[in-house]
Amino acid sequence: MMGYFMETSDYLEKILGILSGSFDIYRPVTINSKEYPAYAYYFSLSEKFLVTQKVNLWSARVYEHILFMQAEKCSEETLADARALIETYMEETYVRKGEKYPEKDHMVSYVTVCILSESSPAAKIKEAVSRYRFNRNYLFTFRGRAEGRIICVDLEAETVHGNRSARQVFNIYSRGFHAKSS
């Protein structure tokens, strides 16, 4: 591991420390007999009432699920694993909970795989990450939608790469490089 700015475990501790204020953190997690270092879960409920809480005009549930993966170098195989996790396991298990549609009042679920890459990925891998798209609407969005994000944290170059959907959270992952250890 010599030559790298930061050990994977150090970065993971820092980013989980940043997320822990809003997310529930579970570590490690096993999915399909493969162990991942951490899973972070966020839930928000917004409601609008008329006069009293007995008259609920609307409710909206927003979720974010982040699964962390470690890789010596982010590769095509790593990306294929991340895509499969989002499109099969995470969408079905975390968003729909095994049902045909998410629960009533579901608005949006962000399903994210964050790959912690010890060395810089090749340019074609960065391009593949940036082109990734996963969006699923449920009942013409009456039951909300799911949006997939892939984030590749390059620990060697101290940069963050991701798809278009992930760009809005790059600053959070960039803070992991400069956060103080807990």
**DSSP assignment of 76-89:** HHHHHHHHHIIIII
131 has pLDDT over 70: yes
Determine how β-strand 106-119 pairs with β-strand 145-154: parallel
How many C-beta atoms lie closer than 10 Å to residue 52's C-beta? Answer: 7
Residues 137-165 have pLDDT tens digits of: 999 888 899 999 999 999 999 999 999 99
In a domain, 1, yes or no: no
The answer to whether 137 and 91 are in contact (CB under 8 A) is no
In a domain, 180, yes or no: no
**Separation between Cα atoms, residue 151 and residue 146, nearest integer Å:** 16
The span from the first CA to the last CA of the chain, in angstroms, equals: 22
Residues 16-31 have pLDDT tens digits of: 999 999 999 999 999 9
Looking at residue 4, its pLDDT comes to 40
In a domain, 3, yes or no: no
Q: Note if the bond before 28 is cis, omega within 30 degrees.
A: yes
Residues 76-116 have pLDDT tens digits of: 999 999 999 999 999 999 999 999 999 888 889 999 999 99
Looking at residue 1, its pLDDT comes to 39
In a domain, 182, yes or no: no
In a domain, 157, yes or no: yes
In a domain, 77, yes or no: yes
48 has pLDDT over 60: yes
Specify the number of domains making up the chain.
Answer: 1
Domain region containing 171: 8-175
In a domain, 117, yes or no: yes
181 has pLDDT over 70: no
In a domain, 143, yes or no: yes
